[in-house]
Amino acid sequence: MSETPDDILIQRAQQGDEDAVASLYRRYVPAITRYIGYRISDGSAVEDLTAEVFFQMVKGLPRFRVTGAPFEAWLYRIAGARVADYYRRAAREQSVENTLDETFQPSPELSVQQREELDALRAALSQLSDEHQTILILRFVERKSHDEVAQILNKNTRAVATAQHRALKKLAELLGTSKKGRHYIRGKSS
């Protein structure tokens, strides 16, 4: 049985259909959680920010207009803004650096090795610009095509490909990825 298209769910959600809202949430919560989880290490913050994105979705739905752009583009924009807010707030409180590794509680089924790999990737990604982080996460974590990434970011495909190249190059430098092996910028290695 095929999934109900986004447009239909959006229309129903805009009329106050709780099931339609829940369907949209269930459809997009894995990707949004991954996006936030690859950018923020504090597990409780990941949950809070993910929830905020969808609360914002419900609040904004009455004004949302279907324009042909993917619905998830809107969610990623909200998520990006929430992450930026989080870091601004954290910078003011100067506490995020101290809690980066200590408080992160990702999915309990992750092995120690997986957690270390996630820490390394996240730490390296955090050195990139917001847009480069988003491009890499959408392209490789979410496995989206260049066209899809371009559509979500409202950019042309060529610009996205060029930015992706730069972002990967920078990330490779940060991760020290080469034939000789890897080292992690936060002092951890596999």
Partner 1 sequence: MSRDFPNDMRDFIERLDRAVPPHTKTVLDDGEADPLVDVARRLAQGPDVQLSAAAASRIEARLRQQTAALYRPARFPPRLSWSQPLRFVAAALVIILLAGVVLTSASANSLPGDRLYPAKRAAEDVRLALAPDASEANLLVDFAGRRIDEFLRLMLERGEFYPQALEEASDELNQALDLLAGGHGDRVTLEPRINTLTQRQAQSVELAAPLVAAQKQQELQEIADENKVIQRRLTIGGWVPLFVADAAVIPIRVSAPNPREK
Span of 3-11, 33-41, 84-92, 93-101 interacting with partner 1 by CB under 8 A: 33-41
Span of 29-37, 71-79, 80-88, 89-97 interacting with partner 1 by CB under 8 A: 29-37
Residue number with CB closer to partner 1 (29 or 81): 29
Tell me how far apart the alpha carbons of residues 161 and 107 are, in angstroms, rounded to a whole number. Answer: 32
Residue number with CB closer to partner 1 (93 or 190): 190
Residue with tokens 């989206």: 144
Contact residues toward partner 1 (CB under 8 A) are 13, 15-18, 21-22, 25-26, 29-30, 33-34, 37-38, 46-47, 50-51, 54-55, 58-59, 62, 106-108, 110, 114-115, 117-118, 121, 136-137, 139-141, 143-146, 148, 157-158, 161-162, 165, 168-169, 171-172, 175, 177-179
